[in-house]
Amino acid sequence: MTDQYDARLLLLHPDDNVFVTRAKIAAGDSLSIAGNHMAVAAAILPGFKVARTSIRPGDSIKKYGAHIGSATAHISLGDVVHTDNMKSDYIPTYTEEKITEYTSGRKIS
């Protein structure tokens, strides 16, 4: 991927396929990513994720160089990446089990 992108976007890690917005980008502003210029349809607030590439449904979303979720719909270059087009793939690292043990004739649960 090319490193040429709008100064209002922040790339946190070279493996990321999303940028993070540094400042509000107003509706109608032009956004430049990898030599592509696009008009922003709706305002994008600071801290929002913007697609660095085209992302297909089921593809991994990477931020901080780590997998943060999967696309649930096609996401075009420059689109906002949010809960309407991605989902978390969170898997807890623990399992919850009910443990019952008997000690000194007393049930502990």
Domains, in order of start, for the chain = 9-108 (2.30.130.110)
> For every residue of 22-38, which 3-state class applies, written as one string?
CCCECCCCEEEECCEEE
**22 neighbors 65 (Cβ within 8 angstroms):** no
Q: Is 9 exposed, middle or buried (0-12, 13-18, 19+ CB in 10 A)?
A: buried
- Tell me what pLDDT residue 93 has: 72
CA distance 106 to 90: 38
CA distance 24 to 48: 9
- Tell me what pLDDT residue 107 has: 58
Residue 2 pLDDT greater than 80, yes or no:
no
Residue 1 pLDDT greater than 50, yes or no:
no
Q: Give the model confidence (pLDDT) of 8-58 as tens digits.
A: 999 999 999 999 999 999 999 999 998 899 899 899 999 999 999 999 999
CA distance 32 to 34: 7
Q: Give the model confidence (pLDDT) of 53-106 as tens digits.
A: 999 999 999 999 999 999 999 999 999 999 999 999 887 776 666 666 655 566
pTM over the 0.75 mark? yes
